[in-house]
Amino acid sequence: MQRRRAVNAVMTGLCALGLALALVPLVSVLWLVLSRGISALDLDFFTALPSPVGEPGGGVGNAIAGTFYIVGIACAIGVPLGVGAGVYLAERGSGRVGDVIRFTAEVLSGVPSIIVGIVAYGLVVLPMQRFSALAGGVALAVLMVPTLARSTEELVRLVPGALREASLALGVPEWRTSLRVILRTALGGIMTAVLLAVARAAGETAPLLFTSLNNQYWNWRADQPTASITVQIYNYAVSPYENWHDKAWAAALVLLLLVGVLSLAARLLTRQRFGAQR
């Protein structure tokens, strides 16, 4: 009895220690980014263009807008493809074709993002002869598709078969049933999956380095190089200027906030969905 309690206490203690150790890097990252980044952060930082070396002020407004722009392009390409593939896998993917697609998606989701960047470079940048927001969007879309497809598949499979039967028994064709009943019912979860995919894509640097490159100015043209927060952080961080290092920290904080807000929104959406079911 005494021994069992002692073992129990020791084990609980070890688990708590493991948790504490796992939290150390997370907390230190958050603390470091917050403490170093907050000083350079002001309203201008969100709205202004980057300033030249040595000049005070300036911001990463164009990079924030650029990240939204590139991720927006990625969503426009990747969400229909990923969700469509997921619905196909769930509804028709029981045969050999489905297995091949599933395997491909699995392999693709394990491909390092820089390789996806090279592919986008070859597919979009070389033929167009210039770096562009479109190329960046394509690279991020390729990264989004496999995870979106797999999570959509899981979510669609969760929709009760009784709803499919109800729709079919009303004389609704299968494709309409898939789109307007099954997909509609799974939509809350799919939105969450999309938000998480967006958050992940927004944090990518490697595939953007040689696709959308960078831009010192505002840009709204898909065929022009475009700034992004991640590439901006990279450029600031590798520069030799102390003043730019501060900006890199501040931009990192902005990116963390952005990704944090997206993940939180995804969480809230999920909770709302489960709340509604009760």
Partner 1 sequence: MTSGNGTGPKIDVQNLNAWFRNNHALRGVSLSVPANTVLAIIGPSGCGKSTFVRCINRMHELVPGARQSGHILVDGTDLHARGVDPVDLRRRVGMVFQRANPFPTMSIVDNVVAGLKLNGIGGNHAELAETSLQQAALWDEVKDRLHHSALSLSGGQQQRLCIARALAVGPEVLLMDEPASALDPIATAKIEELIRELREQLTIIIVTHNMQQAARVSDATAFFYMGELVEHGATEQIFTNPKETRTEDYVTGKFG
> Considering the rule CB under 8 A, would residue 173 count as an interface residue with partner 1?
yes
Which CB atom, from 91 or from 204, has the smaller least distance to partner 1?
A: 91
- Locus of tokens 């392999």: 107
Which CB atom, from 176 or from 221, has the smaller least distance to partner 1?
A: 176
Q: Which of 52, 56, 171, 240 binds partner 1 (CB under 8 A)?
A: 171
> Considering the rule CB under 8 A, would residue 275 count as an interface residue with partner 1?
no
CA–CA separation, 88 vs 93, rounded Å? 6
Q: Which of 139, 140, 181, 262 binds partner 1 (CB under 8 A)?
A: 181
> Considering the rule CB under 8 A, would residue 256 count as an interface residue with partner 1?
no
In single-letter form, the type of residue at position 238 comes to V
Q: Which of 169, 240, 242, 275 binds partner 1 (CB under 8 A)?
A: 169
Beta carbons within 8 Å of 105's beta carbon, 6+ residues apart = 85, 145, 146, 149, 150
Residue whose C-alpha is closest to residue 141's, from 215, 206, 212, 82: 82
Residue span binding partner 1 (CB under 8 A) among the ranges 14-22, 133-141, 181-189, 228-236? 181-189
> Considering the rule CB under 8 A, would residue 212 count as an interface residue with partner 1?
no
Q: Which of 81, 163, 256, 269 binds partner 1 (CB under 8 A)?
A: 163
> Considering the rule CB under 8 A, would residue 271 count as an interface residue with partner 1?
no
CB 145 within 8 A of CB 109: no
Task: List residues binding partner 1 (CB under 8 A).
Answer: 94, 160, 162-163, 165-173, 176-177, 180-181, 184-185, 187, 276-277
